[in-house]
Structure 1
Amino acid sequence: MNTAQAAGHGTLGGSFQGQSLTERVGYVAGVAAEHAPRHDREATFPVEALAALRETGLLGLTVPIDHGGLGATVSDLLDVCIELGRADMSVAMILGMHCQQVAALVGHAAPQLRDELLPRIAAGRLYLASVTTEAGKGGHLLTAESQAHTDNSHLVIDRFAPIVTGGAHADGFLITVRAPDASSPNQVSLVYADREQLTIEQSGDWQPMGMRASHSAALQLTGRVPAHQVVGEHGQFSRIAGEVFGPLAHLAWSAAWLGTAAGALARVVAMLRSPAGRRRFDLGSELLLGRLSAARQKIDTVHALLRHTEQALRCGTELSAPRIQLLLNALKITASEQCHAAVDDLIQAVGLRDGYLKDSATRLELALRDLRSAPLNYSNDRLHQADGRLALLDAEVRLA
């Protein structure tokens, strides 16, 4: 993690001042792992892990150093999401999505808004939630039904979102709305709203199969925000989606899923290599060895694709190029399917007692439930439809 040397430049005090990024991530991962079983059981938000993210400065992971943050690269962010995914996939996804929001502010907010928000994020005082879902359109980013209205120097927001990860605990929100003067649903704006500027009502409960600690309950958000809190130009959110939201979502999500699968394999191997495991399992079994191999192959494949995709983006290739869009979508689809399949291989390898039961030390049952959400988190079916159209545009099949 190359940001270890930059860790001392943050504005935080306390015991983490000057500590390396690896040490900070290790602390958060330990907190997340300790409380993960209870939050999964009760479907509650990992407040202890969020407190640790604040305390260690990891909420400011991708905030530039000149605004008090750690100045991490995308590669650093992926490393962090992988490590947190080993401990608790919900925590890894929470941080990855928060950093996606931060990147939108860094790249597209006007100087006044950046100067207001980035130091607060770096100091651990501002956890950002994303409000992009709407009833009837799911997570589709490039349209909006709810329209913002102008009121003197303010924007009036009245927005319902069926899924807002961590919204009940967020300090601020980046909200997609139809631009005030929009004539079509495609003219979408991104607006920052502070919790204190909104009236927030939670609707219903959050009782999913997996990802229970993400607490992605529905919210109704209403309020007035200063007009300068629009991020980028009104009606031009598609640019932010193409440059920031889409690429970082696919990269960070895939890293979190990869960490979850790798952590599951690590726990299985540790169990098998222990004295008790050697007595209970035949480590020479062709069936066991074949399933371990299949799981490791899937994990290594996702890891290779993740690093290749990140490197392709780092080379500065135009993000709108079909081959880059196809690569990003392939990463998301492959990671979401293969990480889940790898954990399923592991359950088959170790059986009912060590793979399927909730109280198993391997935690495979939890990993499988969490990873089942991955193909649904911006639907793979929707991405395949987009990829079919993109493939037709790339007649020479130019590979990224």
Structure 2
Amino acid sequence: MSAVLPPSMVSRGDLLEASRAIARDVSAHFADAVDREGRFPIETISAARERGLLSAVVPREFGGLGATMRDLAESCAIVGQACGSSAMVLAMHHIQVACIARHARGSAFFEGYLRRLADEQMLLASVTSEVGVGGDTRSSLCAVERAHGRFTFEKDATTVSYGAHAEDLLITARRDADAGASDQVLVLVQKGDFTLEGGGVWDTLGMRGTCSPPFRVVSSGPEEQILPGAFADASAESMVPYSHILWSALWLGIATDAVNRAAAFVRAEARRKPGTMPPTAKRLAEVSVTLQSLRNNVQATAADFDALDDHRAPLQTMPWALRFNNLKIAASEMAPAIVHQALQIIGILGYKNDSPYSVGRHYRDTLSAALMVGNERILSKSASMLLVSKGD
């Protein structure tokens, strides 16, 4: 493993090189075991911690890299080629850190927290789901109760991704007991100030290493750990953009590796019969077109987001909301379709789990994409916007 660099000394090239090294030397070696055993990808996260990747989103002034969205997307795609679960954990951590970095500036507590995160490389998980709201992250039943400068609340979450392995949690809740379901805040709950009760079994078709069972979260802490402002703003300006772009990027990474395996299979076929074109070569050319389209969509959206810099008003508009929704829908449908095409090219060796050309894990991991904030819910929201949008 490479020597640890202070995050403030890390460049964009270092971020991507570290991502490649982690993917190649760590994630790829443990991906099958993580999937088979349904266990947390501790090796990847430990390596990311050693290389300072957990503070990639932290602004440079607080000791982090201040990575752009395009940098983060490329990093997630690189790790996603080796292990989808590892990339998902990293992406979800980056999303939570971005919410703090972009919406808690000016808070002495949160600026100190960002410095500590850059120094200690804590892993941050989110708790946005809740029993009784039907998967709507913009509604909460639980409410923050405040007294004597402290808060308390309990939340029955349907999933808490890698919550048992994270140091801290970022949780959505109603602002107070009198607030409406959509009047929410984000609350940072630190290690030692929360307990995870119950917890089911995370025995799923794919993304098994994210370890996301339900938990009842019982938490308390000082009021300064409640993010300033409303979650509605953090959601539109940070959580949704970072989620849909970084998730799409890691799905792109998974699909890319499946196509790479298909290409390796076709090349092996060509070597066995010199001078002839394998019948699967044309299908490989076809799937590469679809893969490039997905890659271009992810990269363009990330680049256009970065071009806004700190001008966030457009992110509150319908055109941007529709763009993020469309990216998520497109990527979540294209990624498993690409893996399916790769499977058709490879054939039985892609179907077998003990084959170097196996794409079974890739297939199962990408099938989760349409369920992470369900496509039907997103399409309904997009339909409502399109009914009133003037196409600007």
Instruction: Give yes or no for TM over 0.5.
Output: yes
Query: Match for residue 27 of structure 2?
Result: 32
Matches within 5 A, 1:234-313: 236-274=230-268, 278-279=271-272, 284-286=277-279, 288-313=280-305
Contact 1:127 1:171 in 2 (8 A): yes
The one of 221, 227, 232 equivalent to 2:228 is 232
CA separation of 1:260 and 1:148: change in aligned 2, threshold 3 A: same
The one of 144, 147, 152 equivalent to 1:148 is 144
Deviations along 1:201-245, whole A, 9 cap, x unmatched? Answer: 241111000000111111221121100100123xx2111000000
* Paired AA for residue 348 in structure 1: Q
The one of 175, 180, 184 equivalent to 2:171 is 175
Query: Match for residue 345 of structure 1?
Result: 341
> In 2, Cα distance between the equivalents of 1:315 and 1:22?
20
Shift of 1:338: 0.5
1:190 aligned counterpart, secondary structure: strand
> In 1, Cα distance between the equivalents of 2:134 and 2:239?
15
1:136 aligned counterpart, secondary structure: coil
* Paired AA for residue 98 in structure 1: H
CA separation of 1:355 and 1:55: change in aligned 2, threshold 3 A: same
> In 1, Cα distance between the equivalents of 2:331 and 2:183?
31
Shift of 1:181: 4.3
Query: Match for residue 3 of structure 1?
Result: none
Shift of 1:285: 4.1
Query: Match for residue 205 of structure 1?
Result: 201
Shift of 1:321: 2.1
Where do 4+ consecutive residues of structure 1 move more than 3 Å?
16-19, 280-283
1:318 aligned counterpart, secondary structure: helix
> In 2, Cα distance between the equivalents of 1:228 and 1:125?
21
Give the number of aligned pairs: 383
Deviations along 1:263-312, whole A, 9 cap, x unmatched? Answer: 111122123324x66328996244x1332123212211111111222233
CA separation of 1:10 and 1:277: change in aligned 2, threshold 3 A: same
**Structure 2 residue ranges without an equivalent (≥5):** none
Query: Match for residue 375 of structure 1?
Result: 370
The one of 59, 78, 82 equivalent to 1:83 is 78
Matches within 5 A, 1:66-215: 66-109=61-104, 110-215=106-211
Contact 1:9 1:65 in 2 (8 A): no
CA separation of 1:282 and 1:144: change in aligned 2, threshold 3 A: farther
Contact 1:108 1:232 in 2 (8 A): yes
Deviations along 1:333-374, whole A, 9 cap, x unmatched? Answer: 00010011000001111112x111111212311000000000
* Paired AA for residue 222 in structure 1: V
Contact 1:11 1:123 in 2 (8 A): no
Query: Is residue 43 of structure 1 aligned with residue 41 of structure 2?
Result: no
> In 1, Cα distance between the equivalents of 2:334 and 2:283?
14
Q: Give the TM-score, by structure 1 length.
A: 0.90
The one of 380, 383, 390 equivalent to 1:388 is 383
Q: Give the TM-score, by structure 2 length.
A: 0.92
CA separation of 1:281 and 1:120: change in aligned 2, threshold 3 A: farther
Q: Report % sequence identity.
A: 32
* Paired AA for residue 273 in structure 1: R
> In 1, Cα distance between the equivalents of 2:116 and 2:152?
24
